[in-house]
Amino acid sequence: MPAPHDPVLDIAEARLVTLPSRPGRGALTMSVHEVGSDADPTLPVVVFSHGFPELGYSWRYQLPAVAAAGFRAIAPDQRGYGGTDAPEAIEAYDLGSLCGDLDLLCEQLGIERAVFVGHDWGGAVAWAMPALRPQRVAGIVGVCTPMMALPTTDLLESLVDGDIQRQYMLWFQEPGVAEAAMEPHIGDLFHKLMVGGIPPEEVLERLESTGKVDMNPFRDLAALESVGEPIVSDAEIDRYIETFRRTGLRGGVNWYRNMDRNVALYPSVARSDPGVPALMLAAEWDPALPPALSERMGDVIADLERHVIPRAGHWVQQEAPVEVNELLIGWLTRRFGG
């Protein structure tokens, strides 16, 4: 069932922050939600990084809770999403650009060091920050996304015997294909996919019902069977739909089109201890990033706390906000005060 709606979730309208140009990259204007601007300046700021297809608004349950615990909390629409600029070039969406955005955003907002919290693709950005912008990082929190080696398209092709139609990240690679298939069905995208988790054995049974494992729920959204209970209210889901109908999906999908580029340019990402306190929050019923992927993180990260949130799926920060907030705020206060 949807989490109870509370007026505090109607977070303040985002403000625009312009990031200066960098060598090889132009200026970028980001849309940023912020709560707790009067927080204790001795505490690190908490910067939230969303995934696909989400927005800074996806952290609406976390922002007020983290601010109430004494921390300044910030969640931008990331490059290519919502009210933030969406450059044309595919290469503008590599990890160097995405981490650079968060680094420059902190600089523009007078933030010396921050705890970076990332979900889904935003988790990959958060785990890349210690390798690419170490001076800015006080801590890392992965929500569903573990610290792990970046995948290549060759690896993904091997999982589906080269049938790119059955693997959504491969299907995303050809410019324009995914956009043309998905954008006429934005309503289906959010109504059918932004639902709660179901037990993994049920997921596997559905995947194998046709005789082939199909890992591409995006290819035919109109025909996609809806599973799981709704986890957001109609008003909340309408906000996603209205935004993505306006912006389209090109910016977000372009993140995936840099997978091989990221591996080639940033080989040190997620390869060693980040050297800062880290928290991993896995979701028991996440079919995209199951808890098993994070079980061995403690072998690499010396200062790691890990939890599995029971009976929750991929959109865990929206499906189980009370549990996520308790674990996140508990860790923040133990490690940094507040």
| Predicted local distance difference test score (pLDDT) of residue 163 | 92
Question: How do residues 223-234 score in pLDDT, each as one tens digit?
Answer: 998 888 999 999
Residue where the block lists tokens 């204790």: 40
For the chain, residues with pLDDT lower than 50 are: 1-8
| Predicted local distance difference test score (pLDDT) of residue 1 | 36
Q: What 8-state DSSP symbol labels residue 10?
A: S
| Predicted local distance difference test score (pLDDT) of residue 277 | 98
Rounded to an integer, what distance in angstroms lies between the CA atom of residue 281 and that of residue 145? 8
Residue where the block lists tokens 């091997």: 158
CATH no. of 7-151+260-336: 3.40.50.1820
| Predicted local distance difference test score (pLDDT) of residue 337 | 87
Q: What is the strand order of the sheet 45-49 is part of?
A: 15-19, 28-35, 73-76, 45-49, 114-119, 137-143, 278-283, 304-309
Rounded to an integer, what distance in angstroms lies between the CA atom of residue 294 and that of residue 3? 26
Catalytic residues: 120, 314
Residue where the block lists tokens 């599973």: 227
For residues 104 and 20, is the Cβ–Cβ distance under 8 A?
A: yes
As beta bridge partners, residue 116 has 47, 140
| Predicted local distance difference test score (pLDDT) of residue 315 | 97
Question: How do residues 39-59 score in pLDDT, each as one tens digit?
Answer: 899 999 999 999 999 999 999
CATH 3.40.50.1820 maps onto the chain at 7-151+260-336
CB burial of residue 326 (10 Å; 0-12, 13-18, 19+): middle
Residue 127, CB-side half-sphere exposure with 13 Å CA sphere: 30
As beta bridge partners, residue 73 has 35, 46
Rounded to an integer, what distance in angstroms lies between the CA atom of residue 18 and that of residue 85? 10
| Averaged pLDDT of the chain | 93
The DSSP bridge pattern shows strands 28-35 and 73-76 to be: antiparallel
Give the three-class secondary structure for 194: coil
Is this model's pTM higher than 0.85 or not? yes
For residues 311 and 284, is the Cβ–Cβ distance under 8 A?
A: yes
pLDDT over 90 for what percent of the chain? Answer: 83
- What residues have CB less than 8 Å from 322, skipping those under 6 apart? 3
- What residues have CB less than 8 Å from 11, skipping those under 6 apart? 33, 35, 57, 60, 63, 64
Query: Measured between alpha carbons, how far is residue 219 from residues 84, 182, 237, 256 in Å?
Result: 26, 7, 21, 15
